[in-house]
């Protein structure tokens, strides 16, 4: 995760450190500026950027997944691969799928392409997946006759399983500085990661 500091916050940090340093002189207590910057106050960045590897690791903790849909389809999802679609402002997750059903003469192996929006969930202080959907189903052979049903089963499984799943949870010290509270603002999908703006609350 990378971060950048806004000039305003640098000024705020400098003023806060200077005030503490001045107070320490009056009280004859030695407080260094470096201690002020690294220990006295939490470090609040202008934004956080999460890499593909970080998002991949977070999503990967949810797998493998197995779910029975309407007592007709047994869906097992494994091997997630995370991607990003900046133009659509969505995260993609390509997963291998194994589907079993009385409708099928034999279990079917294929793949789903899931996509999801991102949203900040204030109660949990987390960036979460929101409104996931199945964009594409890849199956072959006699399973193609049931592709629509398999897609519906996958969509229902994704909604029940991924909606609201956190990919990152902020620590309290990441959202407070010198008595001022901050919160995540605009979430931007990049070609190689996710950028979360941090704004004053």
Closest CA to 55 of 88, 83, 17, 27: 83
Let me know whether 15 and 59 are in one domain: no
Let me know whether 73 and 119 are in one domain: yes
- Could you tell me if residue 14 is inside a domain? yes
Structural domain count, the chain? 2
- Could you tell me if residue 76 is inside a domain? yes
pTM: 0.73
Let me know whether 57 and 148 are in one domain: yes
The C-alpha atoms of residue 151 and residue 137 are separated, in whole angstroms, by 6
Cβ burial 132-160 (10 Å sphere, 16+ → b, else e): bbbbebebeeebeebeebbbbbbbbbbee
Residue 25: partners with Cβ closer than 8 Å, 6 or more residues away: none
* 67: containing domain: 51-168
* CATH assignment at residue 97: 3.15.10.40
pLDDT tens for each residue of the chain, 201 residues long: 655 545 444 444 444 443 333 333 333 333 322 222 223 334 557 889 999 999 999 999 989 988 887 777 888 889 999 999 999 999 999 999 888 888 778 888 889 899 999 999 999 999 999 999 888 888 877 677 777 777 777 777 777 788 999 999 999 888 887 788 889 999 999 999 999 998 888
């Amino acid at each position: 995760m990378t971060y950048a500091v806004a000039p305003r916050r640098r000024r705020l940090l400098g003023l806060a450190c200077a005030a503490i340093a001045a107070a320490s002189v009056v009280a004859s207590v030695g407080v260094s500026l470096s201690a002020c910057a690294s220990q006295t106050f939490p470090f609040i960045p202008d934004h956080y950027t999460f890499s593909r590897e970080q998002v991949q690791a977070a999503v990967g903790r949810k797998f493998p997944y197995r779910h029975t849909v309407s007592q007709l389809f047994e869906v097992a999802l494994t091997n997630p691969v995370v991607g990003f679609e900046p133009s659509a402002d969505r995260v993609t997750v390509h997963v291998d799928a194994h589907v079993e059903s009385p409708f099928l003469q034999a279990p079917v192996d294929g793949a789903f392409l899931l996509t999801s929006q991102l949203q900040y969930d204030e109660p949990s202080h987390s960036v979460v997946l929101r409104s996931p959907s199945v964009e594409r189903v890849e199956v072959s052979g006699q399973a193609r006759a049931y592709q629509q049903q398999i897609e519906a089963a996958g969509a229902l499984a994704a909604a029940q399983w991924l909606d609201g799943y956190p990919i990152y949870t902020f620590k309290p010290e990441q959202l407070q500085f010198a008595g001022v509270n901050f919160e995540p603002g605009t979430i931007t999908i990049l070609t190689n990661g996710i950028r979360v703006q941090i704004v004053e609350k």
